[in-house]
């Protein structure tokens, strides 16, 4: 029956090839090959797809033009299956999700294709039928939990609404169900939670509530649009685990949108890679990760730091160029201008159709040359770089402490509380060295950066720059030299540049502040050199910040930091706001400049993959304490501090060969305002039972030296530490 | 919450002191005093006679002292006049100076004597305020629900035809000052010119016996002006709320549109307009002055006009202090209401 339907459509639509490939997607296809990951499905052979998107095109209509946000997008999700949708920011992932929900806003419209939910066409559904389906059959979770909960309505009421609308139950029954589902998402004290307002919960708790709300009526399809981007890694790991478990428990199918390949690997059965509004490759996780058939997918994998990548021997390969805007797409292959395999005259002619990869299960790619490319050819190694040997100590912290006094009640004062943002920090950094500072939100990373910059003064202890104390000198009192020596690159390139000043002017301003150059001509020349240094075209000097992409803005930020020949650069999550393909380029740039100038780089990050890739030494912080400090190798291999171990386990790795020890931390990160007594990590530590007595509850562990240069703050005895297993293991090829 | 209100009250008293001092200073400028002396005595008084009169009646004391006496925190003056007579601030109506109280200011309930109405200023203010209160009550009753309904209807579907027509109406209504709309209403509905003499053009009768016929036009005139402004605020706030993520959440939960508006959007959308409604109050007092004069409704605004145009200093002072308190009280209510509507700033 299906074949007949498809065949009749083939007649009416031009573009034979595409249609043929498309008919590979008919449900029958699932019959011959089910990947091992889908084996838990009840009975995939007879099942009808839950969601069938067929050559969907969505446009937004603005006053100026039509923006084709999604073109020719097809996907099928079978019962119990999880489909990952990955791609860079702006490629149309959210648009697909909202298209499925039929909620594109006033200016968005579906301009072609069909979306079938359990065989029922959604594009022509009546509003009443749509309301019936939304929230009960299809539920959606999106990125910012805080924004998706009504701030003026109690959690309980918001949850109860779902059964009240869809199952016509009474208030009491609805309350009982809300209570049940809140318990299901493992929130403590469900009754209190139901009776609170969203702002009274932490980000992770809010996201759990949003998940609870989505699962309330046991939907058959759950759409998750970057559900964990705003969360800390360990919280993210717990939330993802929860979604997976609940999905399995209720047999929910999922459309999981993410830009994080590792996360997709951990959660999904199948994956669809999007680029600039189109699906460029889709297939089972195994096929796409290990046997990719599209140059973009390949480039994406080469630009993320996987275990084994190394800044000296195996540097990352950035994708050259920029993402095309929807209305500026090139002719032919969208990826053409950035593709290594581009062939003029072929790739820039017609729309490229999706073709099937022989032999694999429902594996398709949108590349003309996929048969010609040798996919196993090794990366043309970007010249390996010489390992740099760190020089003498330039920066030294001694027992640094920073306490903040805050009023307990923001509006009316009340008792004053002390927040211990940094607790006895001691370490040194050498010339030309990269020291990574790792930890989750609230661990004191940014306070530390502020102290160093002189934006705050230390409560106690010393910061020595070239053996001169600067810890209690605020930035206004520091010498120009001192200020120029320590510079910072900020997390968000979007709000650190003055929007009304041209790029060149801003760099010249920095030069003026540092007293470099005698006159404007000299400074201008220096500014152009700096643009060269960060690999931006000199013409950019006259551009305004809004005309730059995120990665380009971050380069300007770096140029500004190096304007005064900084000797120490503090980079506070410099790439976390950028897309993966741009991250590699910016990271590499930072490393290159560092090599050239022998700069000491303090790299603050929560992303352990990138830290492993570029750091010489790593410092792990938790609630203001340095819990572990050592060389990258020492920190990334056992013995670990229990927190480091959990962090390592939480970071998703986009490599199918990697097996990880599974550690899920329960509970939230305690507030710095109210830290637990004893070991700061004791509320979530899985190793606590190995320590005799109540040592962990009562005493702050001493700093212990495990090996030269490797210190850990934990009560565990040497034998236990020595017996720890590695968290990440890479299967032999 | 209690400490919050106490603090606000403190600030309020301080503001009231400053404002009344300014009014006091302005009304006690010499030209005003001179006029007062002449109206009390005769208009061909010589300059010396004016000074003597003012001196005898305590008007020539230093300003802070006079202010203190008026407030009732300094003892009232007792002055041996140039004519040999003893005059005391607190001895009025032929009272013996020895029996008179030492303090007699606003705080003691002594609001002074109105030279125009030849009556105690305090009691005049009380009755007039009551009349204006009646007027304002009906204004609020018409204005607030009207404005909120218009604003919500316009804002819930931004850009729709309902939105555009309602927005035009509200802009027109704010753009038309009371003295224009009032005159137009009287001309159209209060006279026989257009054959639509449905209402009375004067509201004097409404002071004792208000009914739809004699009271609707003044109420409408004031309400219309404030309505447009509040409606536009409500619309802006509503359109913003309607694009919020949590409204999308509700929509994707399958909540019907009417329920989205009523249960999810309304409370959030009303936070901003609520403040505005209360802050509108002072502006409405403006309208009260115009409308009461226009419709000859002898309320608070009308009294203010009378006092000001007849140089009735004590009455004017009384009227201003009451106005200041009305304005400040509405602000306090607005703050408290804001806290109440917005759970995010619940106070411990
Ligand atoms: N309401 C809108 N009006 C006009 N253009 C829009 C609108 N919404 C999205 N777009 C455009 O459509 C394209 C796809 O956007 P979409 O939000 O789906 O991307 P995304 O892949 O979800 O990105 P991200 O990873 O940043 O969430 C973008 O170019 C975006 O600018
Ligand atoms: S079609 Fe050509 S340009 Fe496009 S991805 Fe394939 S090789 Fe590259
Ligand atoms: S001291 Fe105890 S609680 Fe803290 S990390 Fe070590 S084992 Fe865990
Ligand atoms: Mg998105």
The pLDDT value recorded for residue B343 is: 67
Of A12-21, A180-189, B337-346, where does mean pLDDT reach its minimum? A12-21
Task: Report CA(A334)–ligand 2 centroid distance (Å).
Answer: 8
pLDDT mean across residues, chain A = 81
Mean pLDDT of all residues in B150-167: 88
How far is residue B219's CA from residue A300's CA, in Å, rounded to a whole number?
69
Per-residue confidence at A19, pLDDT binned at 50, 70, 90? Answer: very low
Helices (H) and strands (E) in chain A, counts: 25, 26
DSSP-based three-state secondary structure for A584: helix
Compute the average pLDDT of residues B202-216. 77
Look-up of token digits 């006092």: B307
Residues near A199 by beta carbon (within 8 Å), at least 6 away in sequence: A146, A151, B343, B344
Report residue B314's pLDDT band, with 50, 70 and 90 as the boundaries.
confident
Ligand 3: residues whose CB is within 6 Å? A 642, 679, 681-682, 685, 687-688, 691, 696, 701, 714-716
Q: What is the ipTM of this complex?
A: 0.72
Q: How far is the CA of A685 from the centre of ligand 3 (A)?
A: 6
Taking alpha carbons only, the member of A92, A90, A229 closest to residue A549 is A90
- Tens-digit pLDDT profile for residues A257-298: 988 888 899 889 999 999 988 999 999 998 888 888 899 998
Alpha-carbon span A273 to B319, nearest angstrom? 74
**N- to C-terminal Cα separation, chain B:** 7
Task: Note whether B268 contacts A150, CB cutoff 8 Å.
Answer: yes
Report long-range pairs for A173-181 (Cβ below 8 Å, ≥24 apart).
A177/A216, A178/A212, A178/A216, A181/A212, A181/A215, A181/A216
Which residues of chain A neighbour B341 with C-beta distances below 8 Å?
152
A251 phi/psi in degrees, rounded to 5: 65, 30
Q: What is the pLDDT of residues B256-283, one digit of tens each?
A: 888 898 888 988 888 878 777 777 777 7
Residue of chain B nearest A144, judged by CA positions: B245
In DSSP notation, B189-221 reads HSSSTTS---S-S--GGGGTS--HHHHHHHHHH
pLDDT in tens, A114-135: 999 998 898 888 988 988 888 8
* Closest CA to ligand 1's atom 16: A92
Residues on chain A bordering chain B, Cβ-to-Cβ distance under 8 angstroms:
101, 103, 106, 131-136, 139-140, 142, 144, 147-153, 161-162, 165-166, 197, 199, 210, 213, 409, 411-412, 414
**Mean pLDDT in chain B?**
82
The pLDDT assigned to A393 comes to 84
What pLDDT is stored for residue A410 in this prediction?
44
Does residue A13 register a pLDDT over 50?
no
pLDDT of residue A35: 38
* Lookup: tokens for A585: 């380029």
Q: Is B84 on the interface with A (CB under 8 A)?
A: no
- Condensed to tens digits (0 to 9), the pLDDT of residues A346-357 reads 888 888 888 888
Q: Which of A43, A17, A25, A6 is nearest to A363 (CA)?
A: A25
φ, ψ of residue A72 to 5 degrees: the values are 50, 55
| Structural contact between residues A576 and A531, judged by C-beta atoms closer than 8 angstroms | no
Mean pLDDT of B214-241: 87
Whole-number Å distance between alpha carbons of B294 and B179: 8
For the stretch A480-539, pLDDT in tens is 777 778 888 887 766 778 888 888 888 888 888 888 778 888 888 888 888 888 878 888
Q: Tell me, what's the pLDDT at A34?
A: 37
A261 touches A86 (CB < 8 A): yes
Residue B110 pLDDT exceeds 50: yes
Using a CB-CB cut-off of 8 Å, the residues of chain A touching B244 are 147
Closest by Cβ to B245, choosing from A148, A152, A153:
A148
Res. A416 pLDDT band, cuts 50 70 90 = low
Give, using CA atoms, the residue closest to atom 1 of ligand 2: A367
Are A199 and B343 within 8 A, CB to CB?
A: yes
State in Å: Cα B153 to ligand 4 middle: 31
Asked whether A227 lines ligand 1 (CB < 6 A), one says no
B254 close to A (CB below 8 A):
yes
pLDDT for res A160: 92
Residue A43: per-residue pLDDT: 46
Phi, psi of A625 (to 5 degrees): -100, 145
Closest residue by Cα to residue A142 from B251, B155, B342, B259: B251
Name the one residue in this structure whose structure tokens are 């959308």: B269
- In chain A, pLDDT over 90 holds for what percent of residues? 12
Residue with token string 């200020």: A483
Q: Which of A446-450, B264-268, B297-301 has the lowest mean pLDDT?
A: A446-450
Nearest CA to ligand 1 atom 22: A94
Binned at pLDDT 50, 70 and 90, residue A407 comes out as: low
Please give the residue of chain B at the shortest CA–CA distance from A159.
B253
How close B248 gets to chain A, by Cα (Å)? 8
Give the pair of three-digit tokens for residue B250.
């509700």
pLDDT digits (tens, 9 = 90+) for A586-614: 888 888 888 888 888 899 888 888 888 88
pLDDT band, residue A138 (cuts 50/70/90): very high
* CA B145/CA B227 separation, integer angstroms: 9
Alpha-carbon A596 to chain mean position: 30
Is the pLDDT at A16 greater than 60, yes or no? Answer: no
Pairing of strands B119-120, B113-114: antiparallel
C-alpha count within 13 angstroms, C-beta hemisphere, residue A395: 28
Interval A214-240 mean pLDDT: 84
- Ion ligand 4 residues within 5 Å by Cβ: A 94
Element holding A449 (H helix, E strand):
helix A445-453
Q: Residues 6 or more apart from A556 whose CB is under 8 A from it?
A: A493, A497, A503, A506, A507, A534, A536, A540, A545, A548
Mean pLDDT of A358-363: 78
Taking the CB of residue B285, how many other CB atoms lie within 10 A of it?
A: 19
- Kindly state the tokens that stand for B308: 């000001």
Residues 6+ apart with CB under 8 A from B42: none
At residue A40, what are phi and psi to the nearest 5 degrees?
A: -70, -10
List, for residues A148-189, the tens digit of each pLDDT value: 899 888 999 999 999 998 888 899 999 999 998 888 887 878
CA-to-CA distance for A549 and A553, rounded, in angstroms? Answer: 6
In this structure, are strands A710-713 and A703-707 parallel, antiparallel, or unpaired?
A: antiparallel
Select the residue of B246, B250, B251 nearest A147 (Cβ to Cβ). B246
List the single range of A17-31, A65-79, A216-230, B332-346 with lowest mean pLDDT: A17-31
State if pTM tops 0.95. Answer: no
* pLDDT confidence band for B94 (50 / 70 / 90): low
């Amino acid at each position: 029956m299906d074949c007949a339907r498809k065949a009749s459509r083939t007649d009416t639509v031009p573009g034979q090839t595409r249609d043929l490939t498309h008919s590979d997607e008919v449900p029958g296809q699932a019959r011959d090959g089910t990947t091992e990951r889908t084996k838990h499905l009840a009975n995939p052979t007879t099942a009808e797809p839950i969601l069938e998107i067929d050559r969907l095109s969505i446009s937004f209509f603005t006053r100026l033009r039509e923006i084709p946000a999604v073109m020719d997008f097809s996907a099928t999700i079978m019962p119990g299956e999880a489909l990952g949708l990955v791609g860079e920011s702006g490629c149309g992932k959210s648009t697909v999700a909202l298209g499925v929900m039929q909620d594109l806003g006033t200016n968005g419209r579906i301009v072609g294709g069909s979306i079938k939910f359990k065989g029922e066409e959604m594009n022509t559904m009546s509003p009443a039928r749509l309301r019936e389906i939304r929230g009960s059959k299809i539920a959606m979770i999106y990125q910012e939990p805080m924004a998706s909960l009504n701030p003026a309505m109690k959690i309980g009421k918001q949850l109860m609404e779902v059964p009240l609308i869809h199952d016509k139950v009474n208030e009491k029954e609805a309350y009982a169900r809300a209570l049940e589902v809140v318990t299901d998402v493992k929130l403590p004290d469900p009754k209190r939670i139901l009776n609170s307002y969203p702002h009274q919960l932490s980000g992770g708790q809010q996201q759990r509530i949003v998940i609870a709300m989505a699962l309330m009526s046991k939907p058959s399809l759950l759409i998750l649009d970057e559900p964990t981007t705003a969360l800390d890694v360990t919280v993210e790991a717990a939330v993802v685990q929860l979604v997976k478990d609940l999905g399995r428990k209720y047999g929910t199918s999922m459309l999981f949108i993410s830009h994080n390949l590792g996360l997709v690997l951990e959660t999904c059965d199948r994956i669809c890679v999007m680029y600039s509004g189109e699906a460029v490759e889709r297939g089972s996780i195994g096929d796409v990760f290990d046997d990719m058939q599209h140059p973009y997918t390949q480039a994406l994998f080469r630009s993320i730091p996987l275990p084994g990548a190394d800044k000296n021997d195996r540097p990352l390969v950035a994708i050259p160029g920029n993402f095309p805007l929807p209305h500026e797409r090139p002719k032919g292959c969208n990826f053409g201008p950035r593709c290594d395999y581009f062939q003029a005259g072929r790739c820039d002619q017609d729309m490229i159709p999706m073709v099937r990869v022989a032999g694999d299960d429902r594996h398709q790619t949108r590349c003309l040359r996929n048969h010609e490319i040798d996919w196993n050819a090794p990366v043309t190694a970007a010249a390996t770089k010489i390992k740099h040997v760190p020089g003498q100590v330039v920066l030294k912290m001694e027992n640094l402490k920073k306490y903040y006094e805050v009023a307990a009640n923001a509006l009316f004062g009340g008792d004053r509380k002390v927040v211990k943002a940094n607790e006895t920090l001691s370490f040194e950094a050498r010339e030309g060295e990269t020291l990574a500072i790792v930890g989750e939100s609230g661990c004191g990373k940014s306070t530390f950066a502020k102290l160093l910059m002189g934006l705050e003064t230390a409560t106690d202890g010393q910061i020595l720059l070239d053996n001169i104390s600067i810890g209690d000198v605020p930035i206004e009192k520091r010498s120009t030299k001192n200020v120029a020596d320590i510079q910072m690159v900020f997390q968000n390139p979007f709000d650190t540049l003055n929007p009304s000043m041209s790029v060149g002017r801003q760099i010249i301003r920095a030069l003026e502040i540092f007293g470099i150059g005698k006159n404007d001509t000299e400074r201008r020349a220096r500014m152009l050199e700096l643009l060269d240094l960060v690999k931006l075209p000199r013409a950019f000097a006259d551009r305004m910040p809004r005309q730059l992409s995120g990665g380009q803005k971050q380069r300007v930020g770096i140029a500004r930091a190096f304007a005064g020949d900084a000797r120490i650069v503090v980079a506070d999550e410099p790439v976390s706001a950028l897309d993966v393909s741009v991250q590699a380029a910016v990271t590499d740039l930072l490393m290159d400049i560092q090599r050239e100038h022998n700069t000491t780089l303090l790299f603050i990050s929560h992303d352990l993959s990138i830290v492993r890739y570029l750091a010489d030494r790593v410092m792990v912080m938790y609630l203001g304490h340095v819990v572990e400090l050592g060389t990258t190798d020492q920190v990334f291999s056992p013995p670990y501090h229990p927190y480091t171990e959990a962090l390592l386990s939480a970071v998703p790795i986009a490599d199918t060969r990697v097996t990880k020890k599974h550690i899920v931390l329960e509970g939230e990160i305690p507030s710095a305002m109210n830290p637990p007594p004893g070991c700061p990590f004791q509320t979530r530590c899985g190793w606590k039972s190995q320590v005799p007595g109540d040592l962990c509850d009562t005493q702050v562990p001493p700093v212990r030296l495990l090996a030269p240069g490797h210190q850990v703050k934990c009560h565990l005895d040497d034998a236990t530490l020595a017996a720890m297993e590695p968290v990440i293991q890479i299967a032999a090829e | 919450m209690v400490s919050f209100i106490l603090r606000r009250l403190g600030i309020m008293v301080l503001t009231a002191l400053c404002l009344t001092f300014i009014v006091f200073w302005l009304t006690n400028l010499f030209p005003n005093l001179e006029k007062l002396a002449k109206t009390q005595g005769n208009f061909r008084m010589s300059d010396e006679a004016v000074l003597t009169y003012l001196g005898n009646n305590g008007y020539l004391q230093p300003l802070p002292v006079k202010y203190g006496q008026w407030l009732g925190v300094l003892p009232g003056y007792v002055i041996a006049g140039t004519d040999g007579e003893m005059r005391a601030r607190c001895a009025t109506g032929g009272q013996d100076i020895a029996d008179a109280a030492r303090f007699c200011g606003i705080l003691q309930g002594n609001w002074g004597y109105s030279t125009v109405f030849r009556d105690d200023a305090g009691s005049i203010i009380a009755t007039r305020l009551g009349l204006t209160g009646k007027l304002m009550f009906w204004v609020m009753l018409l204005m607030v629900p009207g404005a909120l309904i218009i604003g919500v209807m316009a804002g819930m579907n931004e850009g729709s035809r309902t939105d555009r027509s309602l927005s035009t109406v509200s802009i027109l209504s704010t753009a038309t000052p009371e003295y224009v709309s009032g005159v137009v209403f009287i001309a159209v509905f209060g006279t026989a010119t257009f054959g639509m003499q449905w209402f009375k053009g004067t509201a004097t009768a409404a002071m004792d016996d208000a009914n739809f016929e004699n009271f609707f036009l003044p109420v409408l005139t004031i309400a219309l002006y404030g309505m447009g402004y509040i409606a536009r605020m409500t619309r802006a706030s509503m359109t913003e709320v309607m694009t919020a993520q949590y409204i999308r959440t509700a929509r994707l939960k399958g909540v019907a549109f009417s329920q989205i508006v009523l249960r999810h959007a309304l409370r959030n959308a009303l936070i901003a307009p609520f403040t505005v409604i209360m802050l509108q109050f002072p502006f409405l007092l403006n309208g009260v002055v115009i409308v009461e004069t226009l419709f000859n409704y002898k309320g608070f605004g009308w009294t203010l006009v009378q006092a000001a145009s007849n140089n009735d200093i004590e009455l004017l002072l009384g009227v201003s202090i009451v106005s200041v308190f009305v304005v400040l009280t509405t602000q306090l209510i607005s703050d408290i209401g804001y806290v109440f509507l917005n759970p995010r700033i619940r106070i411990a």
